[in-house]
Amino acid sequence: MTRQLREVVFVDGVRTPFGKAKGQYAETRADDLVVKLIRELTRRNPDLPPERIDEVAIAATTQIGDQGLTIGRTASLLAGLPQSVPGYAIDRMCAGAMTAVTATAGGIAFGAYDVVIAGGVEHMGRHPMGEGVDPNPRIISEKLVDPSALVMGNTAENVHDRYPAITKERTDAFAVRSQELAAKAYADGKIQPDLVPVATRSAENGWGLATTDEPMRPGTTTEDLAKLKTPFRPHGRVTAGNAAGINDGATASLLASEEVAKELGLPIKMRLVSYAFAGVAPEVMAVGPIPSTEKALAKAGLTIDDIEAFEVNEAFAIQVLAFLDHFGIDENDDRVNPYGGAIAFGHPLASSGVRLMIQLARQFEERPEVRYGLTTMCIGLGMGGTVIWENPNWTGESK
């Protein structure tokens, strides 16, 4: 048989408002967070017959309890999708949802799927990082991995060691920028259209409704941040203020082959150009996006100069600054995380990849002069992931 590669498009993306661990979702199940999103995606895209969905890929880092039981399948059943729609679970820690997107996108390009739901969830309140892990003793005995690699905050401190030019002042300032931009994006209504309200259960307070990101701290100043403790090292640089928090939340996106999206009359928000994952030394996990981006650019035949919109995950401010310094981009460049990032919104591990895509799609919509954008993030145990997208609204001539 002859096979033709198919274009993959990002049709739509939604997420729950993010919560602080033990906060608004303290008594809400992780699988329920995903269920609301699947419902909303089908509700928002009534032209999509649900039986046309070929896969539901949902990521979670800790696949235990309400994040276990093959969450892509259970969430799809709980959401009332037809039983004929299959689903599975994915794990690549922080890049879970990103991997759900790239894995299913590969399937679409190959012709195995027409339409998929890809997303992720992490309820870090119910499932703290490292819950139930059992690291192989060889990691220590054979010094395969620096022991500091298992604590993400330590790896961020290690990156500060590698790049002495990135000071705590710079990371704090970047954190303040994130909070300011996020607050402005909220005020301008850039975030809310893709948030799905979630009813929150509380035995103490009764039912409520989560409609906003709980972790945000608008009005944060560098003076406030300067006072915070550095929990990972005495007189260190990484604080709760210049890193993302411990959060609960879920994201989900609808991807399709471009021709099927057109056939069904589905909107096209982004077109996939290329993607790549790359490994680095686990103890400097936060530099992962640098090689993964270089790899993805090379595959696409593009250079960093072709990229005019960036959504870089703010697991730690140091990670973004290392990335920007490497590529020679100013940390206040308004092409970078223009609506704020994970430092403000939160970073429920396996869910964040699709949040980046939702925000990049918003950038594309507002800036038709932009042709290419990328989403990138660092990943535990020393990896980075990058997905490059093309703006379907772009009207200019190719360079």
Distance of closest approach, residue 23 Cβ to other proteins, in angstroms: 14
Closer of 196 and 342 to other proteins (Cβ) = 196
Nearer to other proteins, 165 or 203 (CB): 203
Q: Output the DSSP codes for 75-115.
A: HHHHTT--TT--EEEE--GGGHHHHHHHHHHHHHHHTS-SE
Catalytic residue among 123, 127, 160, 347: 347
Please name the residue that has the structure tokens 């009534």: 46
Active site residue 94: yes
Q: Which is nearer to other proteins, 20 or 160 (CB)?
A: 20
Start-to-end CA span in the chain (Å)? 36
Residue 126 to residue 180: CA distance in whole angstroms: 29
- Residue 59: strand pairing partners: 90, 120
Give CA–CA dist 184/15, Å, rounded.
Answer: 19
Tokens of 212: 């906003």
CB of 192 to other proteins, least distance (A): 8
Closest CA to 201 of 253, 245, 248, 132: 248
378 catalytic per annotation: yes
Shortest distance in whole angstroms from residue 38 CB to other proteins: 8
Minimum Å gap between C-beta 204 and other proteins is 8
Nearer to other proteins, 38 or 272 (CB): 38
> What is the per-residue burial (b if ≥16 Cβ within 10 Å, else e) of 83-115?
eebebbbbbbbbbbbbbbbbbbbebbbeeebbb
Q: Is 123 a catalytic residue?
A: no
Taking the complex as a whole, the smallest distance from the CB of residue 32 to other proteins amounts, in Å, to: 8
The runs of H, that is alpha helices, within 111-167 are 138-141, 152-162
Integer Cα distance of 195 and 213 in angstroms: 9
User: In terms of CB distance, is 201 or 335 closer to other proteins?
Assistant: 201
Q: Give the helix ranges, DSSP H, for 209-332.
A: 222-226, 258-264, 289-300, 317-327
Q: Between residues 198 and 280, which has the closer beta carbon with respect to other proteins?
A: 198
Q: Which residues bind other proteins (CB under 8 A)?
A: 35-36, 39-40, 78-80, 196-199, 201-209, 211
- What is the rounded CA–CA span in Å between residue 324 and residue 335? 11
Least distance CB 251 / other proteins (angstroms): 16
Q: Please list the active-site residues.
A: 94, 347, 378
